[in-house]
Amino acid sequence: MTLQERVSATQASERVELAAAYRLVAHFGMDDSIFTHISARAPAGEGDHAFLINPYGLRFDEVTASNLVTVDLEGNILRDSYGAGLNKAGFTIHSAVHEARPDVMCVLHTHTVAGVAISCLEEGILPLNQWSLGFHKRVAFHDYEGVALNLEERARLVADLGDLDVMILRNHGMLTCGRTVGEAFKRMYNLERTCRAQLQIMASGGKMRFVEEALADHVGDQFANWSKMHGEEGRHDAEWEAYMRLAKKHHPDFDS
């Protein structure tokens, strides 16, 4: 029996997996105090075109399945057991993607030191290693407009994102999307490692060895077709299940 089958029946799987993602982001040091967000489409019955997001004021290691806030695309709070509402800047970014991209289940945004540093480089991610090649020609860019409180920015943000699942928010941070919570989390985890590795390579002072473009294109396609190659499309996600076990081992109350 998988973890998802063992968790409390009182919480919908969307809430449980999103809470796990919050704990995992904190576990791997990718959180930023009470700021940044992970959102996911709300379970059926919690509201049409609604999504889940963290309540304002909680650290990521305090988020549980039950205290996630349900909000609709107009900003109306439909469920808030914690009672603190939500961060308006987080609503702006996440509502934009959920409204424009029905294929996206989960949106994850971070302000890590490595991610912010790469977001301040004109060239973004360089084709230097296998991690980075997973993002080769698959990264969008959105120019910084200040703290995301202007709802008019949403149209520009989703236009820049297009149909891609990774975005560098220039001078700000990183954003990933996924058809599942697990997919968005894994993209961000690999993106974070990519940023850290690039910064260490650049800081070494050595001559950088770039992967030539034809090979970079090939490896990028390999990663894009990973699920098909391994016969995992439409089946369980073994790697995400491993991460869920890690969350349960170290943060056993996330599904409460």
pLDDT digits (tens, 9 = 90+) for 72-119: 999 999 999 888 889 998 999 999 999 999 999 999 999 999 999 999
Does the pTM surpass 0.75? The reply is yes
Q: What is the pLDDT of residues 166-211, one digit of tens each?
A: 999 999 999 999 999 999 999 999 999 999 999 999 999 999 999 9
Count of alpha carbons within 13 Å of 195, Cβ hemisphere only? 25
- Nearest in space to 20 (alpha carbons), one of 32, 165, 8: 8
The confidence band for 232, taking pLDDT boundaries of 50, 70 and 90, is: low
- Nearest in space to 35 (alpha carbons), one of 57, 53, 12: 57
b/e 42-75 (16+ beta carbons within 10 angstroms → b):
beeebbeebbbbbbbebebebbbbbbbbbbbbee
Note the pLDDT of residue 44: 83
- Nearest in space to 13 (alpha carbons), one of 53, 65, 62: 65
pLDDT at 252 over 70: yes
Distance CA 151, CA 137 (A): 28
> Where does residue 237 rank: exposed (0-12), middle (13-18), buried (19+ CB within 10 A)?
middle
Percent of the chain with pLDDT over 90: 84
Using the Cα atoms of residue 233, residue 237, residue 240 and residue 242 in order, give the sign of their dihedral: negative
Note the pLDDT of residue 82: 86
Q: How far is CA 11 from the centre of its chain?
A: 21
pLDDT at 235 over 90: no
pLDDT at 43 over 80: yes
Note the pLDDT of residue 199: 98
Residue 158 in tokens: 């989703």
Residues 11-247, CATH architecture = 3-Layer(aba) Sandwich (3.40)
